A and B are shown apart, each in its own frame.
Chain A
Amino acid sequence: MPINYYIFLSVTLFCIGVTGVLTRRNAIIIFMCIELMLNAVNLLLVAFSKMHHLALAAVDANAGINAQIFVFFIMVVAAAEVSVGLAIIVMMYRNTHSVDVNFLNRLKH
């Protein structure tokens, strides 16, 4: 597959995620769109790793493996982030009985 296809796919998914973040007011949905963006990036990284592997296989057997390790760690971080983020959202719900981000306008002051 030409790498372009993977790039466009990933970019599309990413932008859909961005649109979701901007458009929705439910904090949980926003969070899910962030996960969507992360996955788009993961996909692109794996595609690039295969690209490099193909280009440099003669020189180095493990040419593109770094990207896949990177993806692994992104998943690690995403998991940790989700746990903490959801804890925050639960706290927010407990305080305001709503998950509407527009209620969180304390930054105004």
Chain B
Amino acid sequence: MSKLVYLVPLFPLAGFLINGLLRKKLSKSVISIIGCGTVLASFVVSLLIFLDARQEGFETVVVNLFGFISAGSLKIPFAFQVDQLSVLFLLIITGVGFLIHVYSTSYMHDEENEHFARYFSYLNLFVFSMLILVLGANYVIMFIGWEGVGLCSYLLIGFWFKNIDYGNAAKKAFIMNRIGDLGFLIAVFWMINKFGSVGFAEVFTKAPSVPVGILTGITLLLFVGATGKSAQIPLYTWLPDAMAGPTPVSALIHAATMVTAGIYMIARSNIMYTLSPITETVVAITGLATALLAATIALKQNDIKKVLAYSTVSQLGYMFLGLGVGAYTGAVFHVMTHAFFKALLFLGAGSVIHALHEQDIRKMGGLKKFMPITHITFLLACFAIAGIPPFSGFFSKDEILAAAYEKNPIYFIVGVITALMTAFYMFRLYATTFLGKFRGTEEQEHHVHESPSAITIPLIILAILAVVAGFVGIPEVFAKDSHWLQHFLSPIFAGSEKIHQTPGADKSTDLTLMGISVVLALIGVVYAWTKFSKNPELGEPQGFGKILANKWYVDELYDAIIVRPLNAFAKFLNDVVEKSVIDWIVNGVGKTVQYSSRQIRLLQSGQVGGYVLLMVIGIVILFLVEIFIKK
């Protein structure tokens, strides 16, 4: 079954082509069936491959499709790698992707057929690219998918292209992505130089014998690519702006899949990171700082999607923290649970936006009685993200925090403070939106109702997953040998585990840490719930809150440091170099031709005698050339 892995990306690609090329001719139902059906088919194939991979002693399968690049001794085949890590991501991408596709059929229903089809073709293209990314057997194929998801992110963020602001947001996302991609590319080139190959098998076997300095450089550059793609400091400002796209897009791309590409890449390259302790520290500190920064900003945001966006940035920071302290399984675990509850949160927000046509939470409230299913699922997701047991978020977050404590207690302290803030702002969001009095207009109150089943059913499925998904990773303290996920992914991380050799912390420390984080999270939940259901923050933020609400003015800082100087430089190039130098040369050529033609024209005097003279001179020259020069 693993040999048929090429079918998995093939179905969405077909969906992209069909919906894209025939977008003016198909009806909405056909488009929906094609769009969702392809992802469902991929999910089924992924499931079958997963059942294969689940068995003991499953060996990595590399499926070579064709030779892609062959230059001298460098051979890069277009090959897919089926192993536990890629299979897990396949399930997440196709499963959550399918639910979001189904959701989109209802959410985007008001669009015209042509745009509806365009949306689904872009979405299918995105799934295709993401699948290529996780299935690639070498860094180049991964990079193809990497670029592809960046492109689809641009296309989908700027989906409603008639709005200039959305287009600018899309451009911002793409450009910041590209900055990161430069780091990735340089790392790949360096790899080719040092390793002679980019295939995972070759690189990882050769990695221990390469000097640490070089490995550190390569891994740092790869991490730069990851900061762009997964919105870490300093390349994170695109993600909140990317909320300009339709909400299902935010759910799929900016919560569940694309932003996790960076984590996937580092998890895949874990052996190289384990061998470069400096990079690991950089990764951990960057992740931690991002988590903290984003959480502080989310405390004061009033747009429902912006809160979720900063929450995503913050949770991604957690994942990078996990990678940085060597908890690779924990990070991947958090990717999985985050996909479920964050997608659920976004889809729930989409349901609210669809009902009220409003995104400012200060104008919402009391939706509990109008949209029960949305309310319950949203609440479950909030519990999950806050890290309350027994929801999934608790298990994954706790694993990361425990590993962070082992590395350095300060990591744990900062992480736990961030968890407190997470719980606080999430429940602020929940309470302001769903509890209290309804603060919308009369007309909205008339129209608000629960969303149709195409929206609520994915919500329910995701809610179930958000609740139970944690049980695939029950930590040692509770039951021995029941961390199924760790067992499943052990072949991938075996190399790193051997090097790390961390002794397991003793049970009491673990339980204490867990207790601290749970208690703090509960405090945050209760405080926010009670405070905001009674008096929600309706006014404009004041004082320090204003700084938070303005995102610590980071965007303005970037604008001043980078954007304005670049614009000034471009203006200089245009005015001085372009106009004076280049234009002068080009115009000069034209003027020279005109001048010389005017002079040459004087030869045409109309005098016959002159013509004959020229004829004779010509004959003389011809004779000279013919007889004397062309010996």
Contacts and interface: CB of A to CB of B under 8 A. Distances in A.
Q: Are A and B part of the same complex?
A: yes
Interface of A: 18, 21-22, 25, 101-102, 104-109
Contacts of B606: 104-109
B608 interface: yes
Contacts of B607: 101-102, 105
Contacts of A22: 609, 612-613, 616
B605 to A, nearest CB: 6
Query: What is the size category of the interface that chain B forms with chain A?
Result: 10 to 19
B497 to A, nearest CB: 94
B609 A102 contact: yes
A107 B614 CA distance: 15
Interface of B: 604-609, 611-613, 616
Q: Which 10 residue pairs are nearest across A and B when measured between Cβ atoms?
A: A108-B606, A105-B606, A107-B606, A101-B608, A22-B613, A102-B607, A105-B607, A101-B609, A21-B612, A18-B616
A108 B605 contact: yes
B265 to A, nearest CB: 76
A21 B628 CA distance: 26
Contacts, number: 26
Contacts of B605: 105, 108
Nearest to A23: B609
A48 to B, nearest CB: 19
A106 B605 CA distance: 9
B608 A107 contact: yes
Max chain A Cβ within 10 angstroms of own Cβ: one of B607, B611, B612: B607
Nearest to A22: B613
Given A18-B616, A22-B613, A22-B616, A104 B608 contact: yes
B597 to A, nearest CB: 16
B183 to A, nearest CB: 69
25 contacts: A18-B616, A21-B612, A22-B609, A22-B612, A22-B613, A22-B616, A25-B609, A101-B607, A101-B608, A101-B609, A102-B609, A104-B606, A104-B608, A105-B605, A105-B606, A105-B607, A106-B606, A107-B604, A107-B606, A107-B608, A107-B611, A108-B604, A108-B605, A108-B606, A109-B606
A21 B612 CA distance: 8
A108 B604 CA distance: 6
Given A105-B606, A107-B608, A108-B605, 18 more contacts: A18-B616, A21-B612, A22-B609, A22-B612, A22-B613, A101-B607, A101-B608, A101-B609, A102-B607, A102-B609, A104-B606, A104-B608, A105-B605, A105-B607, A106-B606, A107-B611, A108-B606, A109-B606
A18 B609 CA distance: 11
Nearest to B601: A108
A108 B607 CA distance: 8
Contacts of A107: 604, 606, 608, 611
Contacts of B611: 107
Nearest to B613: A22
Contacts of A106: 606
A41 to B, nearest CB: 15
A89 to B, nearest CB: 13
A101 B605 CA distance: 12
A91 to B, nearest CB: 16
Nearest to A21: B612
A109 B609 CA distance: 16
A90 to B, nearest CB: 17
A106 B607 CA distance: 8
Contacts of A109: 606
Contacts of A108: 604-606
Nearest to B616: A18
A26 to B, nearest CB: 11
Contacts of B613: 22
A105 B609 CA distance: 10
A104 B610 CA distance: 12
A37 to B, nearest CB: 11
A105 B613 CA distance: 15
Contacts of B609: 22, 25, 101-102
A39 B612 CA distance: 20
